[in-house]
Amino acid sequence: MDRYHKGEVLGQGTFGLVTKGIEKETGRICALKKIRLGKVKEGINGTALREIKCLKELHHEHVIQMIDVFGHKRNLYLVFEYMESDLEVIIKDRRYPLERAHVKAYLKMTLEAVAYCHKNWVLHRDLKPNNLLIGPDGNLKLADFGLARIYGSPDRRLTSQVFQEWYRAPELLYGAKHYAPSVDMWAVGCIFAEMMLRRPFFQGNSIFDQLGKVFAALGTPSEEQWPGMRSLPDFIEYVHTPPMDKRQIFTTASEDALNLLTRLLSFDPNRRITAEEALQHRYFKTSPMACPFQQLPRFSRGSEEPQLAQPAAPPMAAPRPSDSPDELRKLALRRSFPPREAAASAKLPPRAPSNSVAAAPATAPSKPIETTSGGSSNGVMTATPGSAMPMSMEGVSVTGTSSLMDSGHRPGLSSDDLGYLRKRKLMMDQAFDDAGQDVDRDDMFGDVDDSSPRRSGRSGQPGLDFGSFDPWDGAN
């Protein structure tokens, strides 16, 4: 660690923590991945060893570069080149424009990285947008080789518990132990669909639900479409479902894009297109062409806006300063209660005579509160003393499209407002106490028959005997 300065935390995974670092000699910015070592007998985690082994041998412009490996205080550090963001951020954030040329460029760089890995007999087995990192110059690089394995042995059994379920091929969901690079190509097809939809294509909650989502979109495969399907270890037959029309799902995609997606998401692994074949597909030879990665949208840490000019958004009416949540809350308080000056100078009402009930104060006329609430036809809410106006204005639409509860913000009360409300509460409690002193307690039961068990012990009527216990005696 003497050669690097540690900076902010960039992320945290299952086996380690990633922080930003600066090399002292050259000043180069890098990423430090700290892997926690187990006990002495356990040694280094196998996931870390696989990643180190693969990245020491793989060198490609679209594969993450590992600069150094060293140990420090029972921890293992992997030093990588610094990357600003990942493809998942680009897909989810709608502020980033993702045009056809952008999707084609990202897909092409992904296929080039996967084709290089397969050419060197490496299965990645964890392809997903989160592992496709975006550099400061917009270049995409494949990362996280913790689940990568060398393949080629025809009788080698591999685990099916790889990939995130949303990007796991159907043969893996059925428990296949022998598979080929086609499992990576299925994940590439899911990423391709996610870029066009701006959301994951198959979002299952479990293995069975994931298969159901796949079959609902692509149709239930038959033995002719997928030979050997019934011989898989965890095969379960699903109800036959016809495939959906991809044109209805991907409304803006070209015919070439849909053809490539269909070949990437083929049920039969032997018919699934390879990375080299996908790069030669006519999809990459038609207009619009894939743009250079320097023109792609990219994210800079510390800034909230993308570094690429976006098309002008449609005009939207901005709320007035007086329509902010705090202002609306204060306005509701002022109009629901008397002014503070009047409350401060007011004295407690005199105690009512023992044979009378204090008269309730006259209610003030209702005053409208102007909001842009969608629940009112004229956009005006009325608040009167004693009405159910919420203190935090929950459910009141401030901008006309979403409420405060939808935005996750619940306004609080200032110290001045709390003091004012406490004073009002004391005044109202005193008024209620004075008003209820001489109310006949027997009338609280309303029109209850004297023979009711609740009245026994007081009226002498038959019923349950409370003995010396009087429910109206405050000493009990």
Residue with structure tokens 């949303």? 166
How does DSSP assign 332-378, residue by residue?
A: HHHHHS--HHHHHH--PPPPPPTTS-PPPPPPPPPEEEE---TTSSS
The answer to whether 15 and 145 are in contact (CB under 8 A) is no
For helices 100-119 and 182-197, give the axis angle rounded to 10 degrees.
Answer: 170
Does residue 438 have an active-site annotation? no
Integer Cα distance of 467 and 244 in angstroms:
77
Question: Which residues carry a binding-site annotation for ATP?
Answer: 10-18, 33
Question: Which residues carry a binding-site annotation?
Answer: 10-18, 33
Q: What angle do CA 105, 111, 113 make, to 5 degrees?
A: 105
Q: Where are the alpha helices (DSSP H) in 380-472?
A: 404-407, 415-435
Q: Is the peptide bond before 288 cis (omega within 30 degrees of 0)?
A: yes
- Using alpha carbons, select from 159, 157, 128, 152 the residue that is nearest to residue 142: 128
Integer Cα distance of 182 and 127 in angstroms:
12
The answer to whether 265 and 183 are in contact (CB under 8 A) is no
In the sheet that holds 75-81, the strands lie side by side as 4-12, 16-23, 29-36, 75-81, 66-72
CA 53 to chain centre: 34
How does DSSP assign 39-57, residue by residue?
A: -TTT-S-HHHHHHHHHHHH
Nearby residues of 282 by Cβ (< 8 Å), 6 or more positions away: 256
- Which of 2, 93, 126, 323 does the annotation list as catalytic? 126
Residue with structure tokens 């009405």? 387
Burial class (CB in 10 A: 0-12, 13-18, 19+), 191: buried
Burial class (CB in 10 A: 0-12, 13-18, 19+), 284: middle
**Whole-number CA gyration radius for the chain:** 35
CA-CA-CA-CA dihedral for 201, 205, 208, 211, to nearest 10: 0
> What residues are labeled active site?
126
